[in-house]
Amino acid sequence: MRGRFPAGIMPNPREQLPDLLLRNEGRWIRHEALRPGVLRHVSSSGEECVTVRVQLPPGGVLSVESFCALADLVDEYAQVGRRTSRNAFELVGVDVARLDELVERLAKRGFPVGGTGRSLHQIKACGGFMTCQNAAIDSPAIAKVLGDRLFGDVMAQRYPSWLKISIGGCPNQCGGGIEADIGLLGVFKGLPQVDDAAIVESQCDVPLLCFWCPTGAIKPKAVRGGMSVEINPDRCTRCTSCSNVCPSGIEMGGQRGVAVVVGGSAGNARRGPRLARLLVPFIPLESPLECDRLLELVVLVIEIWAEGARVGERIGDFVDRIGWPAFLRRLGVDFDPYLIDNFDPLSVRRDLRIRWNSDNGSC
Amino acid sequence: MSLEMDQHPESTLCDRLSQGPYPSHVRELRKSSYPLRMLEEGLRANRTQWGAGGYVSVPPLLSGVSIIGSSRPEIASELVCLRLLSVPGGFLSAKTMRGIAEVAQRCGHGFVRWTTAGSLELGIRREDMLDAVAAANELGLDVGSTGDDVRSISACPGSFRCDLAVVNAPDIAYSIGCATIDDQQFPGMPNKVKTAVAGCPNDCVRAQMQKDHAFVGVFRGAPEVDREMMDWWFREGVHSASSAGSWAVKGLDDLVRACPGAAMERRGDSVEIDAASCLHCMLCINSCPAIRPGSERGVAWVVGGKYGHRGANGPMVGFVLAPFIPAVPPDYEEVVEIHKRFLDLYADYGRRKERVGDMLVRLGLRTVLELMDLDPDPAILQEPAHRMFVVWPEAGGGSEP
pLDDT tens-digit series, residues A81-112: 999 999 999 999 999 999 999 999 999 999 99
Closest CA to B308 of B132, B126, B117: B117
CATH of domain A124-185+257-347: 3.30.413.10
B194-236: pLDDT as tens digits: 999 999 999 999 999 999 999 999 999 999 999 999 988 877 7
Of all residues in chain B, what percent are helix, strand and coil, respectively (each to 5)?
35, 20, 45
CB B79 to CB A65 under 8 A?
no
Hey, where are the domains in chain B?
Answer: 12-138, 150-220+296-395, 224-292
Cis upstream peptide for A273 (omega within 30°): no
- Count how many pairs of residues, chain A against chain B, have C-beta atoms within 8 Å: 413
Chain A residues in contact with B17 by the CB 8 A cut-off are 140-141, 144-145, 289
B3-56: pLDDT as tens digits: 444 445 566 999 999 999 999 999 999 999 999 999 999 999 999 999 876 566
The class of domain B150-220+296-395 in CATH terms is alpha beta
- CB-CB contact of B316 with B186 (8 Å): no
B49 reaches A (C-beta below 8 A):
yes
Q: What angle is formed at CA A245 by the lines to CA A241 and CA A246, rounded to 5 degrees?
A: 115
Chain B residues in contact with A211 by the CB 8 A cut-off are 351-353
Query: For A179, which of B88, B209, B309 is closest by C-beta distance?
Result: B209
Q: Does domain A193-251 have CATH number 2.170.150.70?
A: no
The class of domain B224-292 in CATH terms is alpha beta
Q: Does domain A13-108 have CATH number 3.40.50.880?
A: no
* Identical fold, A13-108 and A193-251: yes
CB B28 to CB A61 under 8 A?
yes
Query: For A172, which of B141, B204, B310 is closest by C-beta distance?
Result: B310
Hey, where are the domains in chain A?
Answer: 13-108, 124-185+257-347, 193-251
Mean pLDDT along residues A15-37: 95
pTM for this one? 0.95
Search chain B and give the residue with CA nearest A178: B307
Confidence of residue A362 (pLDDT cuts 50, 70, 90): very low
User: What is the nearest CA distance from A267 to chain B, expressed in angstroms?
Assistant: 4
- CB-CB contact of B290 with B225 (8 Å): yes
pLDDT of residue A359: 52
Q: At residue A235, does pLDDT exceed 90?
A: yes
CB A173 to CB B31 under 8 A?
no
**10-residue stretch averages of pLDDT, chain B, 401 residues long:** 47 92 98 96 95 75 92 94 97 98 98 95 96 97 95 97 97 98 96 97 96 98 93 72 60 89 93 96 92 96 96 94 97 98 98 96 96 97 90 76 52
Write the DSSP assignment of B110-169 as a string of letters. Answer: EEEEE-TTS-EEEEE-GGGHHHHHHHHHHTT--B---SSSEEEEEE--GGGT-SS-SS-H
Search chain A and give the residue with CA nearest B14: A141
Query: Of all residues in chain A, what percent carry a pLDDT higher than 70?
Result: 97
Query: For B142, which of A11, A144, A245 is closest by C-beta distance?
Result: A11
ipTM more than 0.90? yes
Query: Of all residues in chain A, what percent carry a pLDDT higher than 90?
Result: 87
Other residues' Cβ atoms within 10 Å of the Cβ of residue B393: 11
- CB-CB contact of B260 with B281 (8 Å): yes
Pairing label, strands A80-83, B91-92? antiparallel
Chain B residues in contact with A110 by the CB 8 A cut-off are 23-24, 27
| CA pair distance B303, A349, nearest whole angstrom | 28
Beta bridge mates, B218: B298
pLDDT of residue A357: 67
Considering the four listed CATH numbers 3.30.70.2750, 3.40.50.300, 3.30.70.2500, 1.10.10.10, the one that applies to the domain covering B12-138 is 3.30.70.2500
A291-342: pLDDT as tens digits: 999 999 999 999 999 999 998 899 999 999 999 999 999 999 999 999 999 8
A49: Cα separation from own chain's centroid: 28
Q: What angle is formed at CA B322 by the lines to CA B318 and CA B326, rounded to 5 degrees?
A: 125
Closest CA to A62 of B98, B24, B39, B43: B24
Q: Quick one: how many helices (H) and strands (E) in chain B?
A: 13, 15
Beta bridge mates, B214: B196, B302
